[in-house]
Structure 1
Amino acid sequence: MRWTSALAIYILFWSFSVFLVLPFGVRTTHEAGGDHVPGTAESAPHEFRAGRIALRVTVVATVLFVLFQLNYHYGWVTPRDVDLFGRMDMETR
């Protein structure tokens, strides 16, 4: 695999990991014991720490990307393994 392809795939893993990481560790102002500011959503986070979230996302994306690269190299899961409808068998006939 070319390094540019690997970089593009890593960026995809990173952007998808944001959605995996964002819901964890979020505390609303009510949960943190603060006063609600009129005009803000009650579900808004009390403190948004972008650096901490970026670090968590990077760790998750790196782990997933390493697993992807290992699977690409060793072939643990192939397209035939996930062929639920037997279409790969139809191509060999």
Structure 2
Amino acid sequence: MSIASAIVLFMVIWFMTFLIVIPFRIDTQGDLGEIVPGTHAGSPQNHHLKKKAWITTGITLVLWVIIGGTIVSGVISVRDIDLFGRMGPEGSMWHSESGSAAE
């Protein structure tokens, strides 16, 4: 895995995790009884985004090490998820069903 791939993997995991973490521990205006006129009672009063970003980063580091380690070790490869056998034989990059591209 290249450095760019590792960074992209980290960013994808971070944003997916952040979207999961955002709804936890939100103090809404309705819960606190301080509803600002013109806003919904479910609007957040205290969202704790900085704390959630740090929690997300910690969770992401653990997941990134596990997923990145699995990719680098070769335990699971792209050929393992080729359900329809469209990648061809393992040694040939140019294999196709209709014939060989090297001809």
**What interval of TM-score do these two structures reach, taking the shorter chain for normalisation?**
0.7 to 0.9
Which has the bigger relative contact order, CA under 8 A and spacing at least 6? 1
Q: CA deviation at 1:54?
A: 0.9
Alignment of 1:65-80 (within 5 A): 65-80=64-79
The structure richer in helix per residue is 1
What are the superposed Cα offsets for residues 10-55 of structure 1, whole Å, 9 maximum, x if unpaired? 1222122211111122231222x33211111222112122210110
Distance 1:61 1:2 in 2: 18
Give me the identity figure in percent: 28
Alignment of 1:1-93 (within 5 A): 1-31=1-31, 33-84=32-83, 86-87=84-85, 91-92=88-89
Distance 2:16 2:51 in 1: 17
Between Structure 1 and Structure 2, how many residues are aligned? 90
State the 4+ residue runs in structure 1 displaced beyond 6 angstroms.
Answer: none
Summarize the Cα distance change of 1:40–1:13 in structure 2 as closer, same or farther, 3 Å threshold: same
TM-score by length of 2: 0.68
The structure that has the greater radius of gyration is 2
Q: CA deviation at 1:83?
A: 4.1
Any conservation in 1 of the 2:27–2:47 contact (CA below 8 Å)?
A: no
Distance 2:73 2:3 in 1: 18
Give the root-mean-square deviation of aligned CA atoms: 2.2
- Worse-matched range after superposition: 37-46 or 69-78: 69-78
Summarize the Cα distance change of 1:44–1:76 in structure 2 as closer, same or farther, 3 Å threshold: farther
Any conservation in 1 of the 2:22–2:49 contact (CA below 8 Å)?
A: no
